[in-house]
A and B are shown apart, each in its own frame.
Chain A
Amino acid sequence: MYVYRIMLFLVFGGYLLSPLLMSGWASPEVAWYRPFVIWGVLIALTLWLEQKRKLDER
């Protein structure tokens, strides 16, 4: 359940801060693939939490 709280925090935090993702579209300082990298990191984090949850439920 504590893992679920981390997920809730991540999702709502991400929801509020997500407009920052969009600012790089026309900005030369930011690589075009930055949103996808952040997204990939989030997926990796979720995968890690999912493994942790499996261990918790054993």
Chain B
Amino acid sequence: MNASLGGLLALGSGYLLLLFLGALAIERQWIPTRIARHPVVYTLALGVYASAWAIYGSLELAGNAGYGYLAYYLGVAGAFLLAPVLLVPIQRMTRTYQLASLADLFAFRFRSRWVGTLITLISLLAVLPLLALQVQTLGDTIALLTGTARPALLALLFCALIALFAILFGARHTRLHARHDTLLAVIALESLVKLTAMLTLGAFALFVVFDGPADLQAWLDGPGRAAQLGIAQLDPAQWRTLLLLFFAAAFLMPHMFHITFAETLSRRTLLQAAWSLPLFLLLMALPVPLILWASQRLGVDAGGLGTAYLAYGLSESLWLQGVVFIAGLAATSGTMIIISLALSGMILNHLVLVAHPPVDQPDLYRWLRWLRRALIVAVILGGWLFYRLVGVNHDLTTLGLAAFIGIAQFLPGMLALLYWPGANRKGMVSGLTAGGLVWLAGTWVPLLSDIPALVLLPPGLEVLAGEPVWYVVTLVSLAANILTLILVSLITPTSAGERAAAEACSVDAVIRPKRLPLVAGNGEEFKHHLARALGEEVASREVDRALTDLGLSPLDGRPYALRRLRDRIQANLSGLMGPSVAQDIVDRYLPYRRGGLEPNDDVQFVESRLEAYRTRLTGLARELDGLRRYHRRILTRLPVGLCAFGADDELLMWNDALAELSGIEGNSVIGARRDGLPPPWEALLGRVLLEHHDHLYKQPVTLDGTTRYLSLHKAALEVDEEVRGGTVILVEDHSEMKWLEDELVHAARLASIGQLAAGVAHEIGNPVTGISSLAQNLRYDTDDPEVLESATQIQQLTDRITRIVESLVGFAHGGRHVTGQPFAPVPLANLIDEALHLIHLARSREDIHYHNRCPAGLEVKGDAQRLLQVMVNLLGNARDASAPGGEVTIDAAPQDGWLHVTVTDQGHGIDEWVRDHLFEPFTTTKPPGEGTGLGLPLVYSIIAEHGGQIDIDSPPPGQAKGTRINLWLPLNPEHGECTDEPDPDR
């Protein structure tokens, strides 16, 4: 090879510099966010799976096992095809509980820090050969291209640059479980580089070395056939085992788990990767045999170059060798960056923080950040050391398989986590230890020295003797792992905490947490309690963050809200320092209050989870959930107020009607205790809950400044094994009925007063007639002008008394219309005069000026007394609405067979919201106690009896304020003509 050392360094450094610039462009948003967050970027970022193995190892495997190299791609493609049943449930758990790594997930599920520690140790041991493989390809290609004797030092230089990049763009946030757009986009860019380089190499092989697909096929059928026949094909069982290893690696390898689950991406994006990642891998895999066959045709010396590096032999041209080198560097750097980030988090949470809990750290966030950066450097340095000390003695396939078999030991535990709630921590630790020991003895330890692989074949598996070591070790270790996990889990007890966590993790189970009260009473108290562990500043920030996440107020004291707050704080702390430490802190500093009643299921929370799971339910479960939702909707939409309390006085339901009546939204009170409800509900509901009576009728309650009368009915929810205890309360608003009753009493009283007045008027009539007769006689008996004047005045006054008495008697009798009685012609002008006369009698607001502009001679057909009542009511309303000195005008004019009568005032007018309800009983614009709200309904009813219509303009057209009542009454056809001009001041 003819590349210079300086040129290669410049090419490698230039590529890494390009990555830095790319990252900077995304961070400064020179590249739009919509591009950086596009689903294609995520798919390409998942391409981090295609490590140096995909560039070099696959070629080596294809040279040794033909299409067997496809196992590396098909295994991961299979795992992503199963995304809906395999990856989506894991994603849901990691997001809900802020679990950033496989160790976090297992420690959470099995409620054991030892499980997390064990997973971390095995991951570290398994990943070291994979890291060494990456560095080794770097060292080998540097040596190959430049002929330098010290490629390891140059590889170390590249490792340092990669570590710097990981620190700068991957470890800026303290939280592991956060989306790093910059990092994802850069890894996607690396995948794009790998893909382009591989496709270029494949195209070169197919169209430059061969003369197209037909020439390739002809070569394979002819001269190339001998070379292909020399390749030993994998035994089907070995092939399947290889597929299984790569299937497990797809989501259990630390870097794959990190990209797939720790970077918070949407479920939709993950499901899209089910087909897009296999497509990416197909394109990556396609050029591999082409490169192999092209190098065979060209007669490249596989012995001297190494099968893995045959691509460098395709051409002597520098650009093609540069393409191969960049493809390898892109694969290596991407894998190392993500592995170092993932492993540093696991080591931090499950080794460092467990050994040295971060209690009383003055600046916790900064401490965690620097610790993580140091661990990133340590992991990459560890990979380089493993390459220097161990890797150089082995080929890529051996190193890679050692890593993949180690990672496959997590597969039984992961399947148990998802699908077997019966598995427990003892089973998990025992199984992992058994499988891990077989792997270490059979594959890992032999890497370190010349010690031959130590694999003891159990009875019955002697048939495996003579098979390849990797194959035997995989089968024996997984068998030992699975059997031990099952047996130990079956014979040892499972703790309650583990059972709860198992339900939370299991695919088909719904978590059923209990309604336990907390010692802390609100968000502020949470801060105070947590400050003892985290310091005041960190505690305050964490509690505020959780409150913001949940949209809660710091003073919200609802037990339900506090339980959710505690869960959220635990999840957030888990993202910061792992689930084990987070659980310890929360259990110790935010404890539940013990004692009292047996805790019930947290119904509200269970329901919210069921809502979230809805799309996952099928068959009978889906039908039952549909029924549950239907019944819930019945209760929610019930047009009567309904609330339900648990046996511990916690509010479980507050339906829409009650929310409307009380003005309190259900979401703000559900989950509160009864004594935490706002007044007057606390006392009112307390009365019905504590009293022995099941019903309370017409309880006066002040709501929005008005008194309402509520009736409450309660029923106990029986307690047995199936049904949860508590009380359900119906709240009926009987205010209108109460008002109606009061008005009826009032109306009855008025009626009796009316009867009395009519009687009194009748009694007054006789003496007044006597006085009038005496005055008449007096006029006949004297000629004295003064006496005559007095007698005339006495007669005028008695006439006036008579008119008053007649009006009063007429009005008292006018409240009832005799059905079937024919209507008579009524002179409207006279009717209005009489109404005005009655209004004046009231002696109230005498400064109002009335103008009767109704022309004389206009008649309507109707009941004079009832029409008089209409006019009295309308004029009374106009008077009450007018300002002192105001004017009220009555007009009338014939209109198409009707008589259009208007009563117009210049008063304050009527609000729009009241206008639509004015003809409904008890609607009034007058101050409380002054109006009954029955006047206009009565008017409406009388006008309707006459076949007329009534309408309101407020303000009237052409007026700034005031009200105009429009009446249309049937015109009397015989006397309906206007005979003279109206008298404006009648």
Residues of A within 8 A of B (CB): 1-4, 7-8, 10-11, 14-16, 18-19, 21-26, 28, 31-33, 35-36, 39-40, 42-43, 46-47, 50, 53, 57
- Looking at B62-70, B775-783, B869-877, the stretch in contact with chain A turns out to be B62-70
B contact residues around A42 at 8 Å (CB): 77, 81, 278
B67 touches A46 (CB 8 A): no
State whether the Cβ of B271 lies closer than 8 Å to any Cβ in chain A: yes
B contact residues around A2 at 8 Å (CB): 618
A contact residues around B172 at 8 Å (CB): none
A18 touches B243 (CB 8 A): yes
A39 touches B234 (CB 8 A): no
- Contact mask for chain B residues 108-124; partner A; CB cutoff 8 A; 1 contact, 0 none: 00000000000000000
B contact residues around A39 at 8 Å (CB): 74, 77, 278, 282
B267–chain A nearest beta-carbon distance, Å: 10
Most buried by B among A1, A23, A31: A1
- Report which of B68, B85, B231 forms a contact with A7, defined as CB distance below 8 A: B85
A contact residues around B600 at 8 Å (CB): none
- Report which of B66, B85, B278 forms a contact with A26, defined as CB distance below 8 A: B66
What number of residue pairs across chains A and B have CB atoms under 8 A from each other? 89
- Contact mask for chain B residues 219-239; partner A; CB cutoff 8 A; 1 contact, 0 none: 011000100110101101001
B contact residues around A11 at 8 Å (CB): 78, 81-82
State whether the Cβ of B84 lies closer than 8 Å to any Cβ in chain A: yes
A32 touches B84 (CB 8 A): no
B78 touches A25 (CB 8 A): no
B contact residues around A14 at 8 Å (CB): 78
A51–chain B nearest beta-carbon distance, Å: 10
Closest to B614 in A: A57
A contact residues around B348 at 8 Å (CB): none
- Contact mask for chain B residues 184-224; partner A; CB cutoff 8 A; 1 contact, 0 none: 00000000000000000000000000000100110011000
A1 touches B239 (CB 8 A): no
State whether the Cβ of B130 lies closer than 8 Å to any Cβ in chain A: no
**A8 to B419 CA separation, bound complex (whole angstroms):** 15
A18 touches B275 (CB 8 A): no
Pairs across A and B, CB under 8 Å, 6 listed: A15-B240, A25-B67, A35-B67, A35-B70, A40-B282, A46-B275
Closest to A47 in B: B275
**A32 to B66 CA separation, bound complex (whole angstroms):** 11
**A53 to B289 CA separation, bound complex (whole angstroms):** 35
Known contacts A14-B78, A19-B240; A25 and B228 CB within 8 A of each other: yes
A21 touches B274 (CB 8 A): no
A22 touches B233 (CB 8 A): yes
State whether the Cβ of B616 lies closer than 8 Å to any Cβ in chain A: yes
A18 touches B240 (CB 8 A): yes
B85–chain A nearest beta-carbon distance, Å: 5
B81 touches A22 (CB 8 A): no
A contact residues around B240 at 8 Å (CB): 15-16, 18-19
State whether the Cβ of B286 lies closer than 8 Å to any Cβ in chain A: yes
**A17 to B716 CA separation, bound complex (whole angstroms):** 61
Closest to B226 in A: A26
A53 touches B70 (CB 8 A): no
What 9 pairs between A and B have smallest CB-CB spacing?
A: A19-B236, A25-B66, A1-B618, A26-B228, A22-B67, A46-B275, A47-B275, A28-B221, A4-B84
**A47 to B228 CA separation, bound complex (whole angstroms):** 34
Main secondary structure of the interface of B (DSSP, over half): helix
B67 touches A21 (CB 8 A): yes
State whether the Cβ of B279 lies closer than 8 Å to any Cβ in chain A: yes
B70 touches A50 (CB 8 A): no
B216 touches A32 (CB 8 A): yes
State whether the Cβ of B615 lies closer than 8 Å to any Cβ in chain A: yes
**A46 to B84 CA separation, bound complex (whole angstroms):** 12
B85 touches A32 (CB 8 A): no
**A42 to B286 CA separation, bound complex (whole angstroms):** 15
Other A-B contacts than A18-B74, A47-B275, A50-B275, 15 sampled, CB-CB below 8 A, are A1-B616, A2-B618, A8-B82, A16-B240, A19-B239, A22-B66, A22-B239, A24-B67, A28-B225, A33-B213, A36-B286, A40-B282, A42-B81, A46-B275, A53-B271
Task: Give how many B residues have a beta carbon under 8 Å from the other chain's beta carbons.
Answer: 39
B789–chain A nearest beta-carbon distance, Å: 98
**A42 to B239 CA separation, bound complex (whole angstroms):** 19
**A8 to B78 CA separation, bound complex (whole angstroms):** 10
B220 touches A32 (CB 8 A): yes
**A3 to B85 CA separation, bound complex (whole angstroms):** 10
State whether the Cβ of B272 lies closer than 8 Å to any Cβ in chain A: yes
A contact residues around B74 at 8 Å (CB): 18, 39
B contact residues around A10 at 8 Å (CB): 81
B239 touches A7 (CB 8 A): no
B221 touches A50 (CB 8 A): no
B279 touches A43 (CB 8 A): yes
A contact residues around B282 at 8 Å (CB): 36, 39-40, 43
**A55 to B279 CA separation, bound complex (whole angstroms):** 22
- Report which of A8, A16, A19 forms a contact with B85, defined as CB distance below 8 A: A8
Closest to A26 in B: B228
Closest to B278 in A: A43
A43 touches B275 (CB 8 A): yes
- Contact mask for chain B residues 890-904; partner A; CB cutoff 8 A; 1 contact, 0 none: 000000000000000
B467–chain A nearest beta-carbon distance, Å: 16
A50 touches B271 (CB 8 A): yes
**A6 to B686 CA separation, bound complex (whole angstroms):** 56
B84 touches A53 (CB 8 A): yes
B contact residues around A22 at 8 Å (CB): 66-68, 70, 233-234, 239
A46 touches B239 (CB 8 A): no
Known contacts A18-B239, A22-B66; A46 and B228 CB within 8 A of each other: no
A contact residues around B274 at 8 Å (CB): 46, 50
**A27 to B449 CA separation, bound complex (whole angstroms):** 40
A contact residues around B81 at 8 Å (CB): 7, 10-11, 42, 46
Closest to B268 in A: A54
Closest to A48 in B: B275
A32 touches B217 (CB 8 A): yes
**A1 to B175 CA separation, bound complex (whole angstroms):** 34
B70 touches A7 (CB 8 A): no
B67 touches A7 (CB 8 A): no
B75–chain A nearest beta-carbon distance, Å: 9
B contact residues around A3 at 8 Å (CB): 84
B contact residues around A8 at 8 Å (CB): 82, 85
B74–chain A nearest beta-carbon distance, Å: 7
A contact residues around B217 at 8 Å (CB): 31-32
**A36 to B281 CA separation, bound complex (whole angstroms):** 11
B contact residues around A35 at 8 Å (CB): 67, 70
**A22 to B85 CA separation, bound complex (whole angstroms):** 28
Closest to B244 in A: A15
B contact residues around A31 at 8 Å (CB): 217
**A21 to B66 CA separation, bound complex (whole angstroms):** 11
**A46 to B275 CA separation, bound complex (whole angstroms):** 6
A50 touches B272 (CB 8 A): yes
B249–chain A nearest beta-carbon distance, Å: 15
A37–chain B nearest beta-carbon distance, Å: 10
B contact residues around A15 at 8 Å (CB): 78, 240, 243
- Report which of A24, A26, A47 forms a contact with B225, defined as CB distance below 8 A: A26
**A32 to B213 CA separation, bound complex (whole angstroms):** 9
B284–chain A nearest beta-carbon distance, Å: 11
Closest to A33 in B: B213
**A31 to B217 CA separation, bound complex (whole angstroms):** 7
Closest to B67 in A: A22
B818–chain A nearest beta-carbon distance, Å: 66
B246–chain A nearest beta-carbon distance, Å: 12
A26–chain B nearest beta-carbon distance, Å: 4
A25 touches B231 (CB 8 A): yes
